[in-house]
């Protein structure tokens, strides 16, 4: 396999001159450029990724951190990022939370791994990091974009939606159908976005005269297993309810499974409302009505901002996203 030294030798130029021609940086006469390109063609020279990075000062690669790689939530997000990067002539490397330590330390290790691998910038999805963790990245902090969280120290680099408004929208949807005896299957209590949507949900119910202090609610993991376990607790509690709000669609999938197993008919006996409107919502039985969160739009605008920062581009960036309810078949008007 030919090397850059072979190219320089055949073209009759110095190694530095050959490097400038290949990287496109620096002043080189057209005659010299032609000689180097001819040598490249004859030798079928193809610089490795590492060599191109050294020559250009850029890896042309964006790092993406997600907490875990399972379920249906992160896969389409990664797919949209990868597709956009490949269309731009760029590539992607992914890290997620594994190894020793708590979730926060795993996230910090993941960010450092991506930086050490030469990523030009990072897209981060994590609800366990703190402002000080981004400050700890030093100058690289300016090349980070955070999805679905808002950190005061890098607010301009954060792309999220108003989850309080999403929770309020969920509550209004159930109230308009006549439901007032509502149970909540929430995600992890420490997750900021979960706190916001539940706070908005309860505030909207309270404004309608519903006493939320008596509302049945359980926290669980944002997974089908978490939703199933919470739904089982709900059924065992003996609590009277006509509707269930689930903090994400994956939990709703688990809840629907438990209700089906227990012989509870949805939506004839109980209405179930999800949150996120992920792809899986279309394939539950019955199909899941869910608060639509524009994850792809939010993520791609964050990516555009990052590419502008990393590569001096002028891609359009929007920060306002509309929420709506994707209506399917899991809700019903409460019969009087």
- Per-residue pLDDT reduced to its tens digit, 131-151: 999 999 999 999 999 999 999
Phi, psi of 276 (to 5 degrees): 120, -40
Instruction: Kindly state the percentage of the chain with pLDDT values over 90.
Output: 78
Task: Please give the residue that has the higher pLDDT: either 48 or 208.
Answer: 208
| 313 assigned to some structural domain | no
Judge if 134 and 187 occupy the same domain.
no
The CATH code of the domain that includes 48 is: 1.10.260.40
Taking CA atoms, 264 is separated from 186, 255, 268, in Å, by 20, 11, 9
Banded pLDDT at 49 (limits 50, 70, 90):
low
Banded pLDDT at 48 (limits 50, 70, 90):
low
Judge if 110 and 36 occupy the same domain.
no
Q: Mean pLDDT over residues 113-118, rounded?
A: 90
| 179 assigned to some structural domain | yes
Model pTM score: 0.83
| 243 assigned to some structural domain | yes
Q: What per-residue confidence (pLDDT) applies to 72?
A: 81
Judge if 98 and 152 occupy the same domain.
yes
Digit-coded pLDDT (tens) for 180-232: 999 999 998 889 999 999 999 999 999 999 999 999 999 999 999 999 999 99
Among 56, 74, 92, identify where a domain stops. Answer: 56
| 68 assigned to some structural domain | yes
Q: Are strands 243-246 and 144-147 parallel, antiparallel or unpaired?
A: unpaired
Among 40, 56, 72, identify where a domain stops. Answer: 56
Banded pLDDT at 55 (limits 50, 70, 90):
low
Phi, psi of 151 (to 5 degrees): -105, 130
Range in 56-60, 61-65, 248-252, 270-274 the model is least confident about:
56-60
Give the integer Cα–Cα distance in Å for 212 and 186: 14
- Cβ neighbours of residue 196 under 8 Å, at least 6 residues apart? 162, 163, 164, 166, 167
Judge if 134 and 101 occupy the same domain.
yes
Q: What per-residue confidence (pLDDT) applies to 52?
A: 58
Helix ranges (H only) for the chain are 4-11, 15-23, 30-43, 49-56, 74-87, 103-116, 131-135, 163-176, 192-207, 224-237, 249-262, 295-311
Judge if 73 and 192 occupy the same domain.
no
- Size of the chain, expressed as the number of residues it contains: 336
Q: How far apart are the first and last CA of the chain?
A: 79
| 82 assigned to some structural domain | yes
Judge if 150 and 187 occupy the same domain.
no
Q: What per-residue confidence (pLDDT) applies to 209?
A: 97
- Reply yes or no: is the peptide bond before residue 267 cis, omega within 30 of 0: yes
Judge if 198 and 240 occupy the same domain.
yes
Q: Which two tokens stand for residue 326?
A: 């994707």
Phi, psi of 148 (to 5 degrees): 75, 15
Among 106, 136, 160, identify where a domain stops. Answer: 160
CA nearest neighbour of 297 among 305, 288, 287? 305
Digit-coded pLDDT (tens) for 304-317: 999 999 999 999 99
Judge if 156 and 168 occupy the same domain.
no
| 175 assigned to some structural domain | yes
CA angle, 194 then 183 then 201, to 5°: 45
The number of domains in the chain is: 3
Q: Quick count: other Cβ atoms within 10 Å of Cβ 21?
A: 25
Digit-coded pLDDT (tens) for 236-258: 999 999 999 999 999 999 999 99
Domain extent, residue 37, equals 4-56
Give the integer Cα–Cα distance in Å for 18 and 37: 9
Contact 291, 170 (CB under 8 A): yes
| pLDDT tops 70 at residue 261 | yes
| pLDDT tops 60 at residue 7 | yes
Taking CA atoms, 25 is separated from 2, 16, 50, 303, 327, in Å, by 22, 11, 17, 26, 54
| pLDDT tops 60 at residue 159 | yes
| 263 assigned to some structural domain | yes
Banded pLDDT at 18 (limits 50, 70, 90):
confident
Q: In what order do the strands lie in the sheet with 289-292?
A: 217-219, 182-186, 243-246, 271-276, 289-292, 324-326
Judge if 75 and 194 occupy the same domain.
no
Q: What per-residue confidence (pLDDT) applies to 278?
A: 94
Q: Indicate the average pLDDT of the chain.
A: 92
Judge if 68 and 38 occupy the same domain.
no
Instruction: Kindly state the percentage of the chain with pLDDT values over 70.
Output: 96
Judge if 89 and 156 occupy the same domain.
yes
| 132 assigned to some structural domain | yes
The CATH code of the domain that includes 125 is: 3.40.50.2300
Judge if 186 and 278 occupy the same domain.
yes
- Cβ neighbours of residue 320 under 8 Å, at least 6 residues apart? none
């Amino acid at each position: 396999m030919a090397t850059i030294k072979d190219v320089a030798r055949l073209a009759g130029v110095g190694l530095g001159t050959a490097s400038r021609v290949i990287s496109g940086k620096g002043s080189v006469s057209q005659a010299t450029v032609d000689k180097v390109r001819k040598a490249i063609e004859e030798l079928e020279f193809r610089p490795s990724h590492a060599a191109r990075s050294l020559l250009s000062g850029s890896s042309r690669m964006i790092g993406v951190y997600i907490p875990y790689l399972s379920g249906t939530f992160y896969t389409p997000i990664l797919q949209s990022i990868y597709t956009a990067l490949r269309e731009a002539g760029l590539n992607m490397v992914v890290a997620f939370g594994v190894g020793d330590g708590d979730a926060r330390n795993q996230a910090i290790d993941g960010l450092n791994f991506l930086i050490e691998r030469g990523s030009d910038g990072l897209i981060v999805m994590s609800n366990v990091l703190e402002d000080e963790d981004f400050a700890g990245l030093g100058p690289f902090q300016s090349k980070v974009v955070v999805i679905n969280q808002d950190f005061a120290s890098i607010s301009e680099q954060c792309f999220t939606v108003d989850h309080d408004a999403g929770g309020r929208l969920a509550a209004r949807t159930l109230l308009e159908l006549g439901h007032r005896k509502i149970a909540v299957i929430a995600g992890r209590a420490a997750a900021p976005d979960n706190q916001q949507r539940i706070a908005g949900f309860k505030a909207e119910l309270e404004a309608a005269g519903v006493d939320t202090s008596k509302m049945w609610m359980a926290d669980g993991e944002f997974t089908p297993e978490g939703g199933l376990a919470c739904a089982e607790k709900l059924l065992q509690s003996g609590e009277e309810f006509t509707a269930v709000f689930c903090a994400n669609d994956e939990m709703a999938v688990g809840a629907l499974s438990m209700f089906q197993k227990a012989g509870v008919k949805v939506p004839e006996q109980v209405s179930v409302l999800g949150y996120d409107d992920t792809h899986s919502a279309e394939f539950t039985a019955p199909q899941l009505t869910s608060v639509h969160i524009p994850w792809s739009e939010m993520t791609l605008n964050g990516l555009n901002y990052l590419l502008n920062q990393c590569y001096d581009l002028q891609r359009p960036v929007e920060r306002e996203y509309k929420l709506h309810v994707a209506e399917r078949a899991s809700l019903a008007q409460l019969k009087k």
